[in-house]
């Protein structure tokens, strides 16, 4: 089992003004992403605000995205939790819904020692026959998967990839030594897509592609076609926009950008709230690159 290469959108979850999930808009976003040529979608990740949603809402969002995609592109569902048992239960449900893979995060808050970190992922892989993408984002979780632990997990038949979002290219280089036909690495940082691909990465799980899915797909496709100069040019062209999309905590700026573009993805759930005036202006100026 392995994931196809390319650009996957870490999809926002649109809300109504009262804070409820806007499923009509969610369906529109999934359809738009597919029509724009995106290679896959990750639902219920950090960008999807799943940390403020109930398990029932998570399930409904996963089911909606899988249904709309209808097998046209791979759907990865964020099933992670700092409780390994909860993570296992969610993975079982998404497997039954038809998810193509699950994204499992490190155990934030309680963290874990080296063996506990390994078991946190291996326990799910041992019990559910579905491709697992490890999610390393220590800036969010306060803990990281060590390269040695990644090496152990990479040998598991159901662990097929890692989303590496530490921003540490040295860490990525050490993980790159483990890559092969059975284990892949996806960039979790939009400003480092080309460097990750140069290390043997298989693509990106992108925030940027919520705004410009066609261009992010084009970047990865160009690189895999051997046109590294075109890929580099796309990376650098949108660097200011990428920076603006992370000027405040994700997904505040990307939702602001999408709302400015008329995509109407709605507000946030506390503790996330509206962007600052300075941030709003920075996003507005950065979007001028699309004109």
pLDDT given at position 73: 97
Angle between helices 147-154 and 114-127 (to 10 degrees): 20
Question: Does residue 236 form part of some domain?
Answer: no
Whether residue 185 contacts residue 199, with contact meaning beta carbons closer than 8 Å, is answered with yes
- Tell whether 253 is covered by a domain: no
Instruction: Determine, yes or no, domain membership for 238.
Output: no
pLDDT in tens, 149-194: 999 999 999 999 999 999 999 999 999 999 999 999 999 999 999 9
Query: Given 8, 163, 223, 268, which residue is catalytic?
Result: 163
Flag whether 234 is in a domain.
no
Q: Which entry of 135, 171, 223, 238 is annotated as an active-site residue?
A: 135
Contacts of 100 (CB under 8 A, 6+ apart): 3, 40, 74, 75, 76, 131
Question: Are residues 279 and 253 in contact, defined by beta-carbon separation less than 8 angstroms?
Answer: yes
CATH classification at residue 220: 3.20.20.70
Q: What is the pLDDT of residues 37-76, one digit of tens each?
A: 999 999 999 999 999 999 999 999 999 999 999 999 999 9
Q: Does residue 116 lie in a domain region?
A: yes
Cβ pair 16, 266 in contact under 8 A: yes
Each residue's pLDDT tens digit, 193-205? 999 999 999 999 9
Instruction: Tell me what the pLDDT averaged over the chain comes to.
Output: 97
How much of the chain exceeds pLDDT 70, in percent? Answer: 100
Range of the domain at 120: 6-227
Any catalytic annotation for residue 163?
yes
Q: CA nearest 141: which of 89, 78, 91, 202?
A: 78
Number of neighbouring beta carbons within 10 Å of residue 32: 13
Whole-angstrom Cα distance, residue 279 to residue 247?
A: 7
What whole-number distance in Å separates Cα of residue 69 and Cα of residue 27?
9
155 catalytically annotated: no
In a domain, 23, yes or no: yes
Confidence of residue 2 (pLDDT cuts 50, 70, 90): confident
Q: How many CB atoms lie within 10 A of CB 115?
A: 11
Q: What is the dihedral of CA 265, 267, 271, 276, to 10 degrees?
A: 100
Total domains, the chain: 1
Q: Residue range 287-291: average pLDDT?
A: 96
Enter the pTM of the model.
0.96
Residue with tokens 């799910």: 124
Beta bridge partners of residue 8, listed in sequence order: 40, 205
In a domain, 260, yes or no: no
Does pLDDT of 1 surpass 70?
no
């Amino acid at each position: 089992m392995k994931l196809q290469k390319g650009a996957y959108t870490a999809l926002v979850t649109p809300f109504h003004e009262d804070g409820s999930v806007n499923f009509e808009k969610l369906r529109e976003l999934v359809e738009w992403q597919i029509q724009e040529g995106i290679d896959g979608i990750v639902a219920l990740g950090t960008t999807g605000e799943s940390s403020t949603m109930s398990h029932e809402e998570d399930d409904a969002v996963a089911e909606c995205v899988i249904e709309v995609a209808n097998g046209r592109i791979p759907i990865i569902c964020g099933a992670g939790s700092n409780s390994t048992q909860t993570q296992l239960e969610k993975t079982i449900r998404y497997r039954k819904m038809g998810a193509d893979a699950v994204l499992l995060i490190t155990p934030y808050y309680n963290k874990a020692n080296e063996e506990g970190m390994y078991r946190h992922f291996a326990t799910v892989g041992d019990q559910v026959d579905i491709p697992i993408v490890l999610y390393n984002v220590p800036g969010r979780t306060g803990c990281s998967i060590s390269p040695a632990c990644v090496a152990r997990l990479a040998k598991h038949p159901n662990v097929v990839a890692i989303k590496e979002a530490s921003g540490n290219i040295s860490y990525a280089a050490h993980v790159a030594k483990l890559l092969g036909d059975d284990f892949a690495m996806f960039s979790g940082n939009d400003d480092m897509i080309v460097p990750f691909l140069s290390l043997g990465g298989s693509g990106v799980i992108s925030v940027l592609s919520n705004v410009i899915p066609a261009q992010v797909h084009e970047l990865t496709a160009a690189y895999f076609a051997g046109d590294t100069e075109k890929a580099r040019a796309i990376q650098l062209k949108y660097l200011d926009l990428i920076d603006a999309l992370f000027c405040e905590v994700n997904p505040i700026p990307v939702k602001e950008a999408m709302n400015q573009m008329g995509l109407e993805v709605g507000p946030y759930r506390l503790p996330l709230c509206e962007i600052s005036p300075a941030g709003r202006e920075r996003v507005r100026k950065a979007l001028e690159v699309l004109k």
